[in-house]
Amino acid sequence: MERFNPPPAEGVRLHWSEAPRHVREAVEAWLGGRIVAATSSPGGFSPGVAARLRTSDGRRVFVKAAGPEPNPDTPAAHRREAEVVAALPPGVPAPRLLWSHDEGEEGWIVLAFEDVEGRNPAEPWRPEELDRVLHTLAVLADVLDPSPLPDGTVEGAGGWSVVAGRHWEKLSRESPARLDEWSVRHLDELAGLEADAPEAATGSSLLHLDLRADNLLLTPHRVVVVDWPHARVGAPWVDLAFFAPSVAMQGGPTPDELFSRYPRAFQADEDAIVAVVAAITGFFIREGLQPPPPGLPTLRAFQLAQGEAARSWLASKTGWK
């Protein structure tokens, strides 16, 4: 499936100058120097500050910062990410967390990472860049299986609401007017497939579970994986299953072709893949039909486009017309 004009993966970014003065002062105090340049990063769905900062003495860091407005879920996501990234072993191609500042539930949280000189993959996907990303996913699967995080740091993928949320079952009850005809015809069967997803996703690998082009940075020598708040433990091929619809949506190969190029995918049972794809598809389609959350005006269109790509994949796997 090819889609060369996908919706943008962008939230509402605050410029660094729009962060509260006491937050900016806390960062400068940690850096030990005045911030003289700030460049916002447009990609990604977390509202708030996401900026590359440079101090008067030339030091550079990347900072993510958010308060309870406009989206109260964002600070909690930053806290989860800080816990995960701080525990990643050195071999993981992820930015190092250098410092954090947390004012509690009613205040702001700031995460400062090493600044990575890189760019997102091109759209439509270029074969050589996709090959680099698939190699990096294989490295992640090797380094992160079994999960190096202390027990209890993250939950299992099988219990995650995306996998275990029974989204097709909810769609059957809700009967939204915008639901496509294929999904309407097969709602009962789809609900049956997704019921097996929690067990199918179970495994011992630490998964990123939000792999998309906007969460990947290409440098001359490596691929860096950013934004880890959704990390869970599960089967290593599940990360590729979540990644595949966005690749197809953004002009890359079909999900089946992507799976054929990833060694860890050969370890997966076909029924398990179908169950997880059913859950992923139901999640993206149902979420894509909801009103946009605060500060994330393009999220629903992006999710629905992923859902359309996943639905085509699921239809080809089931053979359902």
Q: In whole angstroms, what is the distance from residue 112 CA to residue 30 CA? A: 10
Nearest to 111 by CA among 188, 19, 34, 203: 19
Q: Global pTM?
A: 0.94
Q: Is the pLDDT of residue 23 over 50?
A: yes
Say how far residue 90 (Cα) sits from the centre of its chain.
21
pLDDT of residue 279: 98
Q: In whole angstroms, what is the distance from residue 73 CA to residue 130 CA? A: 31
Specify the CATH number of the domain 13-114. Answer: 3.30.200.20
pLDDT of residue 13: 86
Say how far residue 7 (Cα) sits from the centre of its chain.
15
* Strands 232-234 and 97-102, bridge-based pairing: unpaired
% of residues, the chain, pLDDT over 70 = 99
End-to-end CA distance of the chain: 17
Q: Which two tokens stand for residue 3?
A: 């889609």
**pLDDT confidence bin for 119, thresholds 50/70/90:** very high
What is 127-318's CATH topology? Aminoglycoside 3'-phosphotransferase; Chain: A, domain 2 (3.90.1200)
Alpha helix stretches (DSSP H) within 226-269: 237-249, 255-260
The domain locations on the chain are 13-114, 127-318
Nearest to 209 by CA among 136, 160, 252: 160
* pLDDT tens-digit map of 48-73: 999 999 999 999 999 999 999 888 99
DSSP secondary structure of 73-113: THHHHHHHHHHHHHHS-TTS-SPPEEEEEE--TTS-EEEEE
From the CB of residue 174, how many other CB atoms can be counted at a distance below 10 Å? 11
| Segment 157-164 mean pLDDT | 97
- The yes-or-no answer to whether 13-114 and 127-318 have a common fold is no
Average of per-residue pLDDT values in the chain? 94
Distances (CA, A) of 199 to 23, 98, 132, 235, 243: 43, 36, 30, 10, 20
Q: Is the pLDDT of residue 132 over 90?
A: yes
* pLDDT tens-digit map of 224-243: 999 999 999 999 999 999 99
Q: Which residues contact 72 (CB under 8 A, 6 or more apart)?
A: none
Amino acid letter for position 76: A
C-alpha angle 166-172-175 in degrees, rounded to nearest 5: 130
